[in-house]
Amino acid sequence: MTGSHTSFPDGFLWGVATAAHQVEGGNVNSDGWLLEHVPGTIFAEPSGDAIDHYHRYREDIALIASLGFTTYRFSLEWARIEPEEGRFSAAALDHYRRVLEACREHGLATVVTYHHFTSPRWLLAAGGWEDPRTPERFARYCDKATAHLGDLIDVACTLNEPNLAWLLREIGIGGEPPEGRAGVPFLAAAAGRLGIAADRIAPFQFTSSEPAFEVKLASHRAGRAAIKARRPELPVGWTLANSDIQAGEGGTDRADRVRREVNERFLEASREDDFVGIQTYGRHVFGPDGLAPLPEGAVTNQMGEDIYPQGLEATIREASRVAGVPVLVTENGLATEDDAERLAYLETAVSGVASCLADGIDVRGYIAWTAFDNFEWIFGFRPKFGLIAVNRETQARTPKPSAHWLGGVARTNGALPALEGQPA
């Protein structure tokens, strides 16, 4: 469908996304900062100043709008807003209000995530995402944030990727039960720093126990209720890391189990929400004993996974079928140094969204990950997902061709410009 015009509905959200810890820098009160700096950390490097978006947000928002995008998804940082339990920072809340006002000035709709992986250190010390008191604490924070900021928020996301820890466990990253955490050096070291037993440490990203499932689900529901109490009309949902789970040879039973545990039960829990955010980067193919080997000659991204933009269409269809609520694509993108690869990936992904719309699926928007090359958690700054390059020595921003291409799609609400070397 290169160069064609597809019918995207009026008000369709075309945007880019960031997350506070990944772009702001200096998030010293968060558990993420702690986990990056303990002995034995699995993080390739610390986040440090990141890309200094905390101070450069005005220029960054102006740049995003100038490229043609209509929407900015970003997150609030709980560790800044409530650095000690029950002590809320008016300065931090005012900062995020200025960010929202800058979006308004530039005509950008705001999709705001209340929790994007990182939590205050005090929450981790109190049992984190396995502690039964976390939902009421999260709801209190959501109430305070919405009271201060809610009139400038267009779409609210409570939790980012609460299911990711289960997917990571299936591919061999984290997911240890409480009794096994003493044997994980960085978790044991972080517990020591916090003065708690290792079996009590439960960071959001790395905890996939059944108590964690119940706490995350209860937190989402409590947060949603707190937001709705302040702004009943505000659309609220959560965002899910839903890979396209496929079965390789002999892997049907395992793939079915993973799909059920990672995707479907979280989608079922979304049925009472106003929408579900879908975040897809590709697929995971399972054999009987785990991930199937990649096909010989497979082209891979910087994470070592095969490049498979068709996964997004599959997960949108799955979400619509299982959750039965509108779908908002809140993240989709490619880690690569080759922007031509990114352009081809984005075109296929957006075409998949168009196909879903043509079949009557209620898709409300497409938000690419990510606005800027930034800190990518345990992988550090090496993976390049950004539509905008960042020179971290000077912090200069340079839009890539993919930014101009997708911005053009946004500006025309679905007219897909021809890629270089292809007919219009």
pLDDT of residue 173: 87
Q: What is the pLDDT of residue 7?
A: 79
| Number of CB atoms found within 10 A of residue 275's CB | 24
Question: Taking 80 as the threshold, does the pLDDT of residue 231 lie above it?
Answer: yes
Contact in structure between 416 and 409 (CB atoms under 8 Å) = yes
pLDDT at 69 over 80: yes
Residue-level pLDDT at 415: 79
Residue 72 contacts residue 103 (beta carbons within 8 Å): yes
362 close to 327: Cβ distance less than 8 angstroms = yes
Q: Pseudo-torsion of CA 287, 165, 303, 288, nearest 10°?
A: -10
Contacts of 344 (CB under 8 A, 6+ apart): 309, 419
pLDDT in tens, 162-185: 999 999 999 988 889 999 999 999
Percent helix / strand / coil, the chain, rounded to 5: 45, 15, 40
Averaged pLDDT score across all residues of the chain? 96
So what's the pLDDT on residue 172?
87
Looking at residue 2, what is its pLDDT? 43
From 36, 82, 130, 161, active-site residue: 161
Whole-number percent of the chain with pLDDT over 70? 96
pLDDT for the residue 424:
38
Residue 74: beta bridge partners? 112
Kindly give the interhelix angle for 134-149 and 90-105, rounded to the nearest 10 degrees: 50
CB atoms within 10 A of CB 91: 8
Phi, psi of 296 (to 5 degrees): -60, 130
Tell me which H or E stretch contains 199: none
Q: Which fold has domain 13-412?
A: TIM Barrel (3.20.20)
Pair of tokens at residue 234? 């505000």
Section 324-341 average pLDDT: 98
pTM score of the predicted model: 0.96
pLDDT higher than threshold 80 for residue 417: no
Digit-coded pLDDT (tens) for 240-251? 999 999 999 999
367-397 pLDDT, tens digit each: 999 999 999 999 999 999 999 999 999 999 9
Q: What is the pLDDT of residues 83-112, one digit of tens each?
A: 999 999 999 999 999 999 999 999 999 999
In which band, very low, low, confident or very high, does the pLDDT at 6 lie, cut at 50, 70 and 90? low
- For 152, counting Cβ atoms within 10 Å of its Cβ (0-12 exposed, 13-18 middle, 19+ buried), the class is middle
Closest CA to 285 of 276, 275, 295: 295
249 catalytic, yes or no? no
Residues 6 or more apart from 210 whose CB is under 8 A from it?
A: none
Q: Is the dihedral of CA 397, 60, 14, 279 positive or negative?
A: positive
Q: CA 50, CA 377: separation in Å to the nearest integer?
A: 11
Element (H, E) at 110: strand 109-115
